[in-house]
Structure 1
Amino acid sequence: MIRIREEPQGQVYEALLKFAATNCATFSLTWHMCRYKSTAHQIEKELTPFRVSQKITDNWPGTIQWNVTDQQPDPIHRRYRIARPKGILLRTYRVTPRSIDVLQTAGRLYAWLRPDRPEDLAFYLPDGSNFLASVAHEELAWFMSDICSEEEIVPHVHELRLSAK
């Protein structure tokens, strides 16, 4: 895993999206069962022509939802998880110049937070392998190191701060 140490914003975010778009065929966003603001509804409308699939799931790059009902504490985060029997809607979209334009409207990687936007932007190679993942509410993002190296990333996204992990 190659971790992104600082949030990509502005031109760095745009360069990151361009780099992902040159390597990937699809990207995904998670849609929670909540009330979204008008910005999220606009994003949904603009991305609909590029949607290739959607499914209810309890896991996606960087996240596994625990469907517990006995209120067991999460041993890692030391907090209780709430049962989510319906899961989360994971929508996958085609990478196109227009769909990338929609992603650029966020201006930064960790802006993908509800209720303003869907969450957890991730990109996938043509074979479906995860290339880039993010969990905005945790301010985490990473590249899969078995797919690309730091030396391959830096020339395309010069100011991106990375660390191998």
Structure 2
Amino acid sequence: MFISIENDAKNKAYRDLIDFAFEACDTFILVVRKSMFFNQNVDYLLEELKYSLIEVKEQWVWPGTFLAGGAPGQIYYYNTDKKAREIIKTVTSSLHSWVHPDLPEDLSFIKNGKPWLINTSHEFESYIITESKEEIDKIAQIKGLSIRCIYR
């Protein structure tokens, strides 16, 4: 099932969604496009998250995005640990604020090697892929989050 997030998760809804994503998933990603301008906040954040880093890969494709040209993105893969959770929750208060130049792009979450929360911030699109009734119920209970379930 696809759960479309119909609004930008902000403030408490953002923090609650991030808490749940960290519980449900084992990995999250951030994207840095070296071909785009970004400010020192990006470097600072990457430094803060370095202890949770699994690996960095140059890729043309990541959850929600396929680049047809230009330079590939640098995809930073992180463990969903407590320190990273607090950093992700405090660096911004909005799911769709994960865009250059102030932050890396497209904060997304991966569960067991498969995309779970796909966030294409600059397109203002976010959705969750899950078959778990328990997860769907928990997502639906996040106050301030407007969702639409799409059965496939």
TM-score in same-fold range (> 0.5): yes
Compare CA radii of gyration and give the structure with the larger one. Answer: 1
Alpha-carbon offset, residue 12 of structure 1: 0.6
CA distance in 1, matches of 2:3, 2:13: 17
Higher helix fraction (1 or 2): 2
Higher strand fraction (1 or 2): 2
Q: Is 1:36 aligned with 2:21? A: no
* Identical pairs, percent: 23
Partner of 2:103: 117
Q: TM-score, normalised by structure 2?
A: 0.89
CA distance in 2, matches of 1:23, 1:46: 23
- For residues 14-163 of structure 1, the aligned pairs below 5 Å read 14-33=15-34, 34-66=36-68, 83-84=69-70, 86-104=71-89, 105-125=91-111, 127-146=112-131, 150-155=136-141, 157-163=142-148
CA distance in 2, matches of 1:49, 1:43: 12
Query: Where does structure 2 lack aligned partners over 5 or more consecutive residues?
Result: none
Deviations 1:77-127 (CA, angstroms, capped at 9, x unpaired): xxxxxx31x4111110011111011111211101101010100111111x2
Name the count of aligned residue pairs: 146
Give the counterpart letter for 1:138 in structure 2. E
Q: Superposition RMSD on alpha carbons, in Å?
A: 1.4
Deviations 1:106-154 (CA, angstroms, capped at 9, x unpaired): 11101101010100111111x2111101001000000004356532422
CA distance in 2, matches of 1:42, 1:63: 25
